[in-house]
Amino acid sequence: MQFCLDTAGTYYLRNSIVRGVHMNKQLTWKVGGAQGEGIDSTGEILATTLNRIGYYIFAYRHFMSLIKGGHTNYKIRISSEPVRYHGDDLQVLVAFDQLSINENLREMNADGVIIYDDKFQAELPEGSAVRLCPVPLTGIAKELGNVIIKNMVAAGASCRLLNLELQPFFEVVEEKFGSKGKDLIERNIKAIQQGYDYMKEHFADEMFQLPTAPQVDRPHLLMTGNEAVGLGALLAGCRFLAAYPITPATEILYWLLENMPNYGGKIVQAEDEIAACIMAIGANYAGVRAMTSTSGPGFSLMMEALGLAGISETPLVIVDVMRGGPSTGLPTKTEQSDINQATYGSHGEMPRIVLAPTTIEECFYYMIDAFNLAERYQCPVIVTSDLYLGMSKQSVDDLDMSRVVIDRGAVVTQEELDQRGQKTYPRYAVTESGISPRPFPGMPHGRFCALSNEHDDTGLEIEDTDGRVAQMDKRFRKLDTFNGGEHVSYKGPEQPDVVLVGFGSTTAQIAEAFAELSSTYSIGHLQIGCVYPFPTEAVRKILAHTKQIFVIENNKTGQLAQMLQQNVGMVDKVEAILKYNGNPFTVRDITTTVRG
């Protein structure tokens, strides 16, 4: 049985509305407006400042596939403890237009506050207890000579509402605009100050009290999943990237463009994703760790190349930052609907590995794993991230450098080749493990032909039955020693009645739902970080005595649920909680369904 959630419910009010100063363990803040109005920069300035003074933040961008207009917003959850999700509720909304109020009111808490630009008359539905604070965001900005700095006025007003000190904001502004001249810095600082003063003067009793910021001697890392992928790739020794721009994967390209050339790495903006993927295959064949990054539409174009890497046993790393499909689908919205394609895509059959990092930190660690696995097993490794993981920004405590280990797998040495002294090398020798050492072009006595046809050990095409079967079996034998179970995490009792199962980016919401439900249920949380080869043993062990399994995934057809049923069985115990409206799960989406 499967059922879907309709999250388009009405906003609801809480009974007790407390006016004045609110004490909060954590707080959610959002700014909304039309695209092109500086929404992101308002969010960025707040996120950066809060992270710098020691808070843990998680920032989620909601945007549209257009340059001007529409509705876009930037939400930040602020806490004194690590957070990985932007939260179900909303306490503070900064609205640049009425649309932002309409779009976000249902998320707002009853004790919420809306700061809005007084150039329009804000309207709330009857009975709404949310408080309104009109602030001349545009007015002040205009007086300062530039409408666009209304975002700084908004930041200043928010600063006051959250009872924060101004100085750290000023410092961030100074750094951000340092190269653009004193004038601009001063104007931005004034805008922040005046937004702050206006709030203080007109809405003195509106204030949220954040918990004390944790003491830090240096800021946490503030990074997106895409940046973590880029950093992971670079430290993993990736020195070639070919990619074609596509939301939400482009930031991987940006980050590597900025950083990889410093280490001798090369980057090509390819003419399309077919070329991008095949260039990466060519570079890997030539001995350079290489990857391509893309999203669904580009990944579809790579299907033939996937098979080429498979049969030619060329290592390959593909990062697919998933978005709403099919086709162009929802280019700016999140979804987890490509794992079937990652697992089964391309004609014919070949070994491959599909990893699904579950956190921003794992985006980093899994890239190191991906390159090692690709070279160890000489096969394609697909890393499926998604828009939510890729583009959200999070305070990360630290990354463990000791986990950066480079294992290039079976590579034949020049001495070995010289000792053989032959003209060609049996690159595709049928070995017991299925893995056969590879030389790199340029090495004397290592000649072979990599090819897309079925072949003999040196790379001559063959069609004889025995040779074909031997090579197929050899290729598939390679993964016998691979253990996807290392990428599975479980929290909860040893024999839970109920288990929440997810893969990839849904970790945080499931973890919060799990924490909430733990007091009433014997419940566990299983998060799968490798969807192929399916970690059947590890999963079966955890689920052995379970009465009910909820599989939570951002797609329409329950792709993980089906994989689970196919590999582990338990068909009658599996229920899928599915969401495919473009938004990430809320905690409530999960808890209400489990409670039934």
Partner 1 sequence: MAKVIDFKYDKPTWCPGCGDYTVLAAMQQACVGLGLEPEQVCCVSGIGCAGKIAQHFGGYGFHSLHGRSIPTATGIKLANQELVVIAAGGDGDGYGIGLGHSLHAMRRNIDITYIVMDNHIYGLTTGKLSPNSQKGFKTKTSPKGSAEDPIRPVEMAIVTGSSFVAQAFSGNVKQMVSIFEQGIKHKGFSLINVFSPCVTFNKVNTYDWFKEHIVNMDEDESFDPTNRMDALRRVHEVESVCTGVIYREERPAFHETMLGASETAGVHLDLDLAEEEMQSLIDQFRR
Binding status of residue 227 toward partner 1 by CB under 8 A: yes
Instruction: Please tell me whether residue 288 binds partner 1 under the rule CB under 8 A.
Output: yes
Residue 221 binds partner 1, judged by CB under 8 A: yes
Q: What residues numbered 133-192 form the site for partner 1, per CB under 8 A?
A: none
Q: Which pair of tokens denotes residue 313?
A: 């046993």
The verdict on 291 binding partner 1 (CB under 8 A) reads no
**500 contacts 513 by C-beta, under 8 angstroms:** yes
- Residue from 55, 63, 240, 490 that binds partner 1 (CB under 8 A)? 240
Compare residues 62 and 220 and give the one whose CB is closer to partner 1: 220
Burial letters 167-202, b for 16+ CB under 10 A, else e: ebbbebbeebbeeeeeebbebbbbbbbbbbebbeee
Report the distance separating Cα 490 and Cα 346, nearest Å: 32
CB of 526 to partner 1, least distance (A): 30
| Nearest residue (CB) to partner 1, 236 versus 594 | 236
Q: Is 449 in the site for partner 1 (CB under 8 A)?
A: yes
Q: Is 374 in the site for partner 1 (CB under 8 A)?
A: no
**118 vs 454 by CB, closer to partner 1:** 454
What is the C-alpha separation between 500 and 513, in angstroms, rounded?
9
> Cα separation of 285 and 211, whole Å?
54
DSSP state of 213: P
Alpha carbons 37 and 152: distance in angstroms, whole number: 12
- According to the binding rule CB under 8 A, does residue 406 interact with partner 1? yes
CB of 48 to partner 1, least distance (A): 6
Does position 84 interact with partner 1 (CB under 8 A)? The reply is: no
Cα gap 233→354, rounded to integer Å: 16
Q: Is residue 556 close enough to count as binding partner 1 by CB under 8 A?
A: no
State in angstroms the smallest separation of the CB of 231 from partner 1: 6
Q: Does the protein bind partner 1 through residue 391 (CB under 8 A)? A: no
Report DSSP state, residue 146.
-
> Residue 338 half-sphere exposure, CB side, CA atoms within 13 Å?
35
For residue 373, give both structure tokens.
């696995």
Ordered alpha helix ranges (H), 295-397: 296-301, 303-311, 339-344, 360-377, 387-391
Q: Does 461 bind partner 1 (CB under 8 A)?
A: yes
Partners of 92 in the β-ladder: 29, 113
Q: Does 98 bind partner 1 (CB under 8 A)?
A: no
Q: How big is the site for partner 1, counted in residues (CB under 8 A)?
A: 76
Q: Does 289 contact partner 1 by CB under 8 A?
A: yes
Applying CB under 8 A, the span of 264-272, 537-545, 546-554, 572-580 interacting with partner 1 comes to 264-272
Q: How far is the CB of 368 from partner 1 (least distance, A)?
A: 11
284 near partner 1, judged by CB under 8 A? yes
Determine if 261 is a binding residue for partner 1 (CB under 8 A): yes
Q: Describe the strand order of the beta sheet including 393-396 as a list of residue ranges.
A: 131-135, 108-117, 90-95, 26-35, 69-79, 56-62, 393-396, 221-224
Assess 270 for contact with partner 1 (CB under 8 A): yes
